[in-house]
Structures are given as C-alpha cells and as structure tokens.
Chain A
Amino acid sequence: MRYLCLIYENEKAWETIPAAESEAIMNEYFQFTDDIRKNGKYIAGEALQPTASSTTVRVRNGKVSTTDGPFAETKEQLGGFYLIEATDLNDAIQVASRIPSARLGSIEIRPVVDFSAEQAKREQGAGATA
C-alpha cells in the first residue's frame, strides 16, 4: 500500500543551522533514500524549494485566481515528500521515523487512494469500444 510522507519543518530554522550540520543532515538524507531504494520501499521523493517560491492557484466560478505563497501560514512549512510502498501503517511509521526531518519537524503520513480498480474498468471499457 502506498503512503505519502509529507515533510514539515520550520524553513527559517534551516537558515540558522551551521554548514557542517546541514551537510551532515543532507548526507543522512542521501543514505536514507539509498536504503529505501534498496529495500524497495521508495517510489518517489523530492525536496521542495522554499515557500517563497510557492504559488497557490484556485478556480472559483470559472475564474482562475493565483496568489503568492502557500495557502496557509503555519509554523512549519512543507519542505518535501517521499512516496513509499509499505505493508501497513506501522511499516510506514517505521520508514517515516527515519526521515532526518522527523527529528527537526514533523512528517504527515497519508494513505494514497487506490484507483486501480476504477482505472482497470475504464481501460476495459475503452478497449471494448475501440
């Protein structure tokens, strides 16, 4: 089953961490990503550029509105994610707890909706009429 691990942390804190420490954390990230690639749990993962680069888009009544920044001002901001394959929530928690930012911020773990059954039906339907 797939889980999305959303990495939340205080962006400003990163600005104050000394270079040696931030390098150590990055190395931990590389090692962690390596490990979960090897054990087959990694599906995808990215670090995100800071919220200063963020844009929020909404469409209401057919009108597109674009605003600067993330949609919510919070103490911790979304900094990255990992999409993982895990057997159950406990397994996902195990993986997420090893994300370095789990120590500095928080990781939200959300199960991914499985649309494969609907997808299969659609493809079947498409095949029949093709």
Chain B
Amino acid sequence: MSDPVESAFRAESRRVLATLIRLLGDFDLAEEAMQEAFAVAAERWPTEGVPANPRAWLVSTGRFKAMDTLRRRARFDASLAAIAERLGDGVTPPPEVDDDSVEDDRLRLIFTCCHPALPPDGQVALTLREVCGLTTEEIARAFLSPAPTVAQRIVRAKAKIKAARIPYQVPSRADLPERLASVLQVIYLVFNEGYAASSGESLTRGGLSAEAIRLGRLLVELLPEPEAIGLLALMLLHEARRDARTTADGEIVLLEDQDRARWNREMIAEGMALVDRAIGSRGFGPYTLQAAIAAVHAGAATAADTDWIEIVGLYDVLVRAEPSPVVQLNRAAAVAMRDGPGAGLALIEDLLGRGELADYAPAHSARAELCRRLGRSVDAIRSYEGALELTRQEPQRRFLEWRLQEVRRELSPRTQ
C-alpha cells in the first residue's frame, strides 16, 4: 500500500530534512516541506511507481512545495518574499542534491544543533528532534520533563539560530576541535541519560542509549575523528553490559559481581576494535582513554583477572587530559584495587577535604565502601548516609540502604 513510502520515510526522512534545511534556511519550513513531500509520495508512488532516486525526488518535491507556501505567505509578509526569490524560479532544479552534499547536510545539521552558542539543554532537545527524528513527547518522556518545557527549549533554540544567525555549516578545520567537543558532549549526555536515568524508578532507559549510539555511528561515518571513534567505543563497551547491570527485579549489580556471560560480546569486540583505531591515530583524548579503560574491564574473563595496573596507568593519562575531580575519584577507586583500600581512601579523603565532590553521591559511597573494607564501620555508616542524602534514583537508594544495614549489622551483630 504505502509500504515503499514508509520504508523511504524510515531510510531517508532525516537526510531529506537535512538537505531541505540547507536549501530553505529554516527548520520549520523544511519540516513542513518534508512532510508535504511524503504526502505527495503517498499519493503518486502507488500509481506512478517509486522514482529511481527517491531522495532526490523528495528533496525536489519538498522544495517546490516550500516555494508555493512561501509565495502564498509572502503576500502578507515581505521578508518571506525575499526568501522565495532566493530559492529561484522553481523550474531550474537545485544544483546540490547529489550524494556528497547529502552526507554533508547531516553533518551540518549535527554541528548546527550542537552549536555552543545554544544552551546545552536546547542542544540536546534540538539534536534529538531534528537529527534523530524523535517527537517532542518522546524526548520529554525520555528526560522526564514536561512536554511543553521541551517544546519551549526547541523553539528557543531555533529562534536563537535565526536571531544570532548561527550559520548552517560544518566548522572549519581550525574550529573543529572545540565544535566537535560540543557535539560529543551532547551525544554522551543523551547516552548517560539512557544508561543511568538520573531519577525515578527504572535504572536505565534503553531507547535513549540506542539513539546515542546511532548518533555516534553517524558521526563516525561522516567525520571519523579519533575522539568521535573513542566516544562510540565507550558507549558500545558500556552498553554491552546492560543486561548484566541489573537483576530481573531491577536491582543494581556491581561490575565485580556481574555475570560476564551476559555481556554482549559482539558490542565488546566492536568497541575494542574502535579503541585500537582511535588510539592508533594521533589526537585522541578523554573519551578514547575512558573507552580504553572500559576495554580493559571488558577483556577480563572474571573480575579477579582485571588488570588494575593497566587501568591505573590509563587513569594517570586521563587525569592529565581531563583533571576533573570525578576523574580523580574514579582513579582513586582503581588505585584502591591495585594498591589496597588504604591507598584509595587517602586519595578520596584528600578530594573531599579540598571541598571537591561534597555533593557528589558516588564520592561518599566510594569512601563508605573503602572504609568498610578497612573495618572502619562508623566512618562507613556516616558516608553511606551521606551518599543516600544525595541519591534520588530508587535502585541506587535500595542498594545503599542494603549496604548500610550490612555495616550496621557488622558493627553491632547482636542488636539488629
């Protein structure tokens, strides 16, 4: 019935949209045009047959529809007449609807949606909407935000692109590192939201992580920069552990306790290959290093086989590339595994003593864990309580409360 149209929509709608945005210079106009183009396809293709180059046909049709729309509206708004005029007479076909520019168009779209001049939540919402094709409702549900809030972010982001005149371009070589960092941050934010939902009942929201990985793949396909490859590797290596991260009841399973047979070996293999590729090239950075660490974990047959010396070595490099307190905390946890809990605890207490990570729950739970291993039960209890105060996610809370009970029992075994 409309099957070829549906499959064309699934395969091509994002690329058609990206090209129409370039040709029309306006997100909303392009979206309308795309939808009208598919509507025409639904009417004509069943009888006239599917065109030889569906994408070019859709872009062309969308463009004509847009010009009709603009001419109609231009009677009431002179500024639109200028756009209509710029688009041409509607007879001569647009010059750049070939494969090369379509690839660039999706890249242009990603870089535009992730422009650092847009507020970060606007970047995320706009990217998910325009590049991934998620509806506002889907984005809202995924981030547990009200739909009107998400809709506003998208509207504001589009308005800023227009008002400040953010150009629809792939950045120059000189600007690429900073701009790519912005794109990678958006993708990783989306992945993290899906990997460990920030609040609420369910620990993970798989759909968002899959979307982030899809975005990561597209980016690597269009722009195989080392850090883009590193981020994709990192996401795949994390995602490979999804099934082992929670019990059937949704309870947390720590890395050291996970059933490694439930890890997705294909994803791990792909992730490891990508790590090699990224490390092999110059200009890799924090994402690649984090992926390399994840690869060391993935390569260990059991938790006991984990090469902590290698991991700490990688953290030593990562801390220089990204000296954030969170990275230092993770390094401290690895040091504890390599050199014993005392060594790791000293580093964490140093961090907390400097006032860093006071509001970061994992810092307190890491401290609690190491105190527990050293038999410092009172300190462990205090830290678990501190971590609980800062944790909103239900499965995390249940885990911490369970640990807390265990330590209390150790402290006073007779009085439960």
**A residues engaging B (CB < 8 A)?**
1, 87-91, 93, 109, 111, 117
Closest CB in chain B relative to A36 CB, distance in Å: 18
Which stretch, B165-173, B232-240, B283-291, B408-416, touches the partner chain A? Answer: B165-173
Closest CB in chain A relative to B323 CB, distance in Å: 21
Closest CB in chain B relative to A27 CB, distance in Å: 24
Closest CB in chain B relative to A122 CB, distance in Å: 15
Q: Give every chain A residue within 8 A of B171 (Cβ-Cβ).
A: 90
Chain A to chain B contacts (Cβ below 8 Å), 24 pairs: A1-B165, A87-B167, A88-B165, A88-B166, A88-B167, A89-B115, A89-B117, A89-B164, A89-B165, A89-B166, A89-B167, A90-B166, A90-B167, A90-B169, A90-B171, A90-B175, A91-B167, A93-B117, A109-B164, A111-B163, A111-B164, A111-B165, A117-B78, A117-B79
Once the chains are docked, how many angstroms separate the CA of A1 from the CA of B163?
10
Number of A-B contacts (CB under 8 A): 24
Closest CB in chain A relative to B77 CB, distance in Å: 11
Q: Give every chain A residue within 8 A of B165 (Cβ-Cβ).
A: 1, 88-89, 111
Once the chains are docked, how many angstroms separate the CA of A91 from the CA of B117?
13
Once the chains are docked, how many angstroms separate the CA of A117 from the CA of B188?
44
Task: Please provide the chain B residues from 133 to 169 with a CB less than 8 Å away from any CB of chain A in the complex.
Answer: 163-167, 169
- CB-CB nearest in chain B for A121: B78
Once the chains are docked, how many angstroms separate the CA of A89 from the CA of B165?
5
**B residues engaging A (CB < 8 A)?**
78-79, 115, 117, 163-167, 169, 171, 175
Q: Give every chain B residue within 8 A of A117 (Cβ-Cβ).
A: 78-79
- CB-CB nearest in chain A for B166: A89
Q: Give every chain B residue within 8 A of A91 (Cβ-Cβ).
A: 167
Residue among A87, A89, A117 with most chain B CB within 10 A: A89
Residue among B79, B163, B171 with most chain A CB within 10 A: B163
Once the chains are docked, how many angstroms separate the CA of A1 from the CA of B78?
19
Closest CB in chain A relative to B174 CB, distance in Å: 9
Once the chains are docked, how many angstroms separate the CA of A121 from the CA of B373?
79
Q: Give every chain A residue within 8 A of B163 (Cβ-Cβ).
A: 111
Q: Give every chain B residue within 8 A of A89 (Cβ-Cβ).
A: 115, 117, 164-167
Once the chains are docked, how many angstroms separate the CA of A110 from the CA of B149?
25
Once the chains are docked, how many angstroms separate the CA of A3 from the CA of B55?
38
Residue among B115, B164, B166, B175 with most chain A CB within 10 A: B164
Once the chains are docked, how many angstroms separate the CA of A85 from the CA of B369?
59
Q: Give every chain A residue within 8 A of B166 (Cβ-Cβ).
A: 88-90
Closest CB in chain A relative to B366 CB, distance in Å: 34
Once the chains are docked, how many angstroms separate the CA of A109 from the CA of B79?
24
Residue among B79, B117, B165, B166 with most chain A CB within 10 A: B165
Once the chains are docked, how many angstroms separate the CA of A89 from the CA of B169?
11
Q: Give every chain A residue within 8 A of B164 (Cβ-Cβ).
A: 89, 109, 111
Closest CB in chain A relative to B161 CB, distance in Å: 9
- CB-CB nearest in chain B for A91: B167
Q: Give every chain B residue within 8 A of A87 (Cβ-Cβ).
A: 167
Closest CB in chain A relative to B164 CB, distance in Å: 5
- CB-CB nearest in chain A for B168: A88
- CB-CB nearest in chain B for A88: B167
Closest CB in chain A relative to B186 CB, distance in Å: 18
Closest CB in chain B relative to A51 CB, distance in Å: 27
Q: Give every chain B residue within 8 A of A88 (Cβ-Cβ).
A: 165-167
Q: Give every chain B residue within 8 A of A111 (Cβ-Cβ).
A: 163-165
Closest CB in chain A relative to B118 CB, distance in Å: 10
Once the chains are docked, how many angstroms separate the CA of A14 from the CA of B115?
33
Q: Give every chain B residue within 8 A of A1 (Cβ-Cβ).
A: 165
Once the chains are docked, how many angstroms separate the CA of A88 from the CA of B167?
6
Closest CB in chain B relative to A89 CB, distance in Å: 5
Once the chains are docked, how many angstroms separate the CA of A49 from the CA of B117?
29
Once the chains are docked, how many angstroms separate the CA of A1 from the CA of B164?
9
Closest CB in chain B relative to A95 CB, distance in Å: 13
Once the chains are docked, how many angstroms separate the CA of A93 from the CA of B182?
16
Nearest 5 A/B pairs, CB to CB: A88-B167, A88-B165, A89-B164, A89-B166, A111-B164
Q: Give every chain A residue within 8 A of B175 (Cβ-Cβ).
A: 90
- CB-CB nearest in chain A for B79: A117
In the complex, besides A93-B117, A109-B164, 12 extra interface pairs with C-beta distance below 8 angstroms are A1-B165, A87-B167, A88-B165, A88-B167, A89-B115, A89-B164, A89-B166, A90-B171, A91-B167, A111-B164, A111-B165, A117-B79
Closest CB in chain B relative to A52 CB, distance in Å: 33
Once the chains are docked, how many angstroms separate the CA of A13 from the CA of B115?
31
Closest CB in chain B relative to A121 CB, distance in Å: 10
Once the chains are docked, how many angstroms separate the CA of A87 from the CA of B169?
13
Closest CB in chain A relative to B85 CB, distance in Å: 15
Once the chains are docked, how many angstroms separate the CA of A51 from the CA of B115?
33
Q: Give every chain A residue within 8 A of B115 (Cβ-Cβ).
A: 89
